[in-house]
Amino acid sequence: MSTYKRGKRWCYYIRIKGTRYRGTIPEARTKYQAQQAETRIRNQIFEGKYGTFQSNKTLRALVEKDFLPWARENKRSWRNDFSRIKPLLAFFGSQKLADISSFLIEKYKIKRSKTITMRGTKRSQTTVNRELQLLSRVLSMAVSSRDLRTNPCFEIRKFKGEVRRKRYLLPGEEARLMQALVCRRGYLRLIVMIALHTGMRRGEILRLGKQDIDFCRGEIHVTKTKTDRDREVPITATLERELKSHCATLHSDFLFANPKTRLPISDIKHGFDSVCEQAGIPDFWFHDLRHTAATTSFRPVDPQYTDFSLSNWAHEREQNMWLLARNFGIASAFSLLLLPIGPQQARFEDIKVLGLDFERKSSQDFLPTVWIVVRNDSQYVTGGFRVSCGWSCPGGLTRTGFANVGGSLGPHMKSTLNPTSQSTLCDTVPAFLSVQCTLEYQGVKKQAWSGNVTMYYPSGSMTTEEDADRPGKDYRSDIELLVPRYQMCEQMCRGDAKCKAYTYKKPTQDDPRALCWLKDSIPPPRKDPCCFSGHR
């Protein structure tokens, strides 16, 4: 029998595959209670929980003796673990592993999220989530070593709403950054150029040696990557010239070596931060150069980035995103990846021509820049379409002007297109031009838009102030522009003798409208990244 009574105590005896399990059940008072206890013990044996115990080891002892030595040997990011473990040890360090409950961890999560950082800002939820992930890893190690039965972190929900960083250099900021990389900070110039032209990570760049540069094949061989997979990154013509010049003056096997130790530079954080501060570029990290490389890689007007390789992104989904971005822009690349695979395309009626506008640099500009705005209202990608617009010249002339443009659009995407071919405007320009546009798509050609376009006679010159707002003194306000370009607002101001200054508001995710304000005097400026301003 598996349960029997010896004296006043009930006992159990179980034999499974030659292994004996026996002991007393002091809590049992009847045979039925002893049998119930024996069933629970048998289940623990089957589940592998029999014989485990809660040790008296503290979290600090586990971290210092077991986890940190393991992290140093097995993780490239062990320095992050050494930093993130400090607040965890300050809160849980003296607690025994058995006493760390899900309630106590939830208490730490709330308390930690309310603390203030050294910069005087509120601690982000992302930071707290990373610390909870580290605590869960430590407690999982305790479960593996049988110092703990279960991991209480499994019952904790992390903060929701983490925002992925989307910062990248704007064209004006990129020029200011390169101008600041001189004299004392000149050693950072090539490092920044490699990041901008290849999208490589900071550690990958700092570890580069002469043997990693293959000028014959025009590649950089990247080793010790984040994903533990080596890769080859193509070199642009601009970067190749800089690398050859730099390698000719090297006295070390590494591209960026400390002159004292002849070993690679370990970090450039403080130097790069000071350069960004000097250049007037706020809230910018070195890793944001990788984002900039991705956004500039598909600029058709910037040939220095045309050799950029998508092999820098290890995941196929990210590669697909940037391939789509080449054709459809960043905004729709993310939504394109979520579409079902299939032959569906946007229908003819889903493509809307919203209008046409002219951008003239002077009153005598008879070959202006023409902008045609098209929108795709469907959830599918459009195939190739073509928009043709024409207008009649004033004064009874029979000659007509024209402009046509073709392209493709992603789902729910609006695009401002510059025609590949157009004629001169007219010999004389009236206040309005009557324009008619036709859309050709999937073998069908129909009239898509018609209307009068206001013509402006810009005269004089105006200053242009980036990231500046001049509030007040408006005589025309909230003018919604069809073409989201500050030059269109400036053209309106230059064409009106009453206008002395203007402010243009850029479209945002919260307010996608491009707005213009015209002012009859020149109010003082105020720094604001939302706007462009200018005055006579």
Query: Could you give the CA distance from residue 459 to residue 455 in angstroms, rounded to a whole number?
Result: 13
Query: Could you give the CA distance from residue 390 to residue 371 in angstroms, rounded to a whole number?
Result: 13
Query: Could you give the CA distance from residue 103 to residue 125 in angstroms, rounded to a whole number?
Result: 19
> How large is the greatest C-alpha to C-alpha distance in the chain, in angstroms?
123
Q: Quick one: tokens of 249?
A: 């003056």
Helix axes 269-279, 188-198, angle to 10 degrees: 80
Query: Could you give the CA distance from residue 393 to residue 427 in angstroms, rounded to a whole number?
Result: 8
Backbone phi and psi for residue 296, each to the nearest 5 degrees, phi listed first:
-85, -10
Listed in sequence order, the residues at least 6 apart from 320 whose beta carbon sits closer than 8 Å to its beta carbon are 337
Q: Quick one: tokens of 300?
A: 């058709």
Query: Could you give the CA distance from residue 77 to residue 484 in angstroms, rounded to a whole number?
Result: 43
Listed in sequence order, the residues at least 6 apart from 275 whose beta carbon sits closer than 8 Å to its beta carbon are 177, 180, 181, 185, 188
CATH of 348-454, one of 1.10.10.10, 3.40.50.11540, 2.60.40.10, 2.40.240.10: 2.60.40.10
Among 411, 440, 393, CA closest to 344: 411
Question: Can you give the pLDDT at residue 54?
Answer: 57
Residue 392's CB is within 10 A of a number of other CB atoms, namely 15
- In Å, how far are 199, 222, 315, 326 from 311, measured between CA atoms? 10, 11, 9, 15
Question: Can you give the pLDDT at residue 395?
Answer: 62
Backbone phi and psi for residue 148, each to the nearest 5 degrees, phi listed first:
-150, 145
Q: One-letter amino acid identity for 197?
A: H
The answer to whether the beta carbons of residues 177 and 275 sit under 8 Å apart is: yes
Torsion-angle region of 441 (φ positive above 0: left; ψ -120 to 50: alpha; else: beta): beta
Helix (H) or strand (E) holding 11: strand 9-16
Helices (H) and strands (E) in the chain, counts: 15, 19
Question: Can you give the pLDDT at residue 421?
Answer: 65
Backbone phi and psi for residue 336, each to the nearest 5 degrees, phi listed first:
-65, -35
Question: Can you give the pLDDT at residue 502?
Answer: 94
Q: Quick one: tokens of 5?
A: 């009574």
CATH class of the domain whose range is 59-155: mainly alpha
Query: Could you give the CA distance from residue 11 to residue 23 in angstroms, rounded to a whole number?
Result: 6
Q: Which ranges of the chain have pLDDT less than 70?
A: 1, 47-54, 296-344, 394-400, 420-421
Query: Could you give the CA distance from residue 235 to residue 208 in angstroms, rounded to a whole number?
Result: 14
Query: Could you give the CA distance from residue 63 to residue 81 in angstroms, rounded to a whole number?
Result: 10
Q: What is the DSSP string of 25-93?
A: ETT--SHHHHHHHHHHHHHHHHHT-TT------BHHHHIIIIIHHHHHHH-TTHHHHHHHHHHHHHHHT
Sketch the domain layout of the chain as residue ranges. Answer: 3-47, 59-155, 171-314, 348-454, 465-535
Under DSSP, is residue 472 helix (H, G, I), strand (E, B) or coil?
coil
Question: What are residue 441's DSSP bridge partners?
Answer: 385, 444
Taking the alpha carbons of 305, 309, 312, 313 in that order, is the dihedral positive or negative? Answer: positive
Listed in sequence order, the residues at least 6 apart from 106 whose beta carbon sits closer than 8 Å to its beta carbon are 156
Question: Can you give the pLDDT at residue 323?
Answer: 47
CATH class of the domain whose range is 171-314: mainly alpha
Question: Can you give the pLDDT at residue 103?
Answer: 92
Query: Could you give the CA distance from residue 40 to residue 19 in angstroms, rounded to a whole number?
Result: 18
Cα 282 to chain center, whole Å?
Answer: 16
Helix (H) or strand (E) holding 189: helix 188-198
Helix, strand, coil percentages in the chain from 3-state DSSP, rounded to 5:
35, 25, 40
231: Cα within 13 Å, side-chain hemisphere = 20
CATH of 465-535, one of 3.40.190.10, 3.40.30.10, 3.40.50.970, 3.50.4.10: 3.50.4.10
DSSP letter, residue 169: -
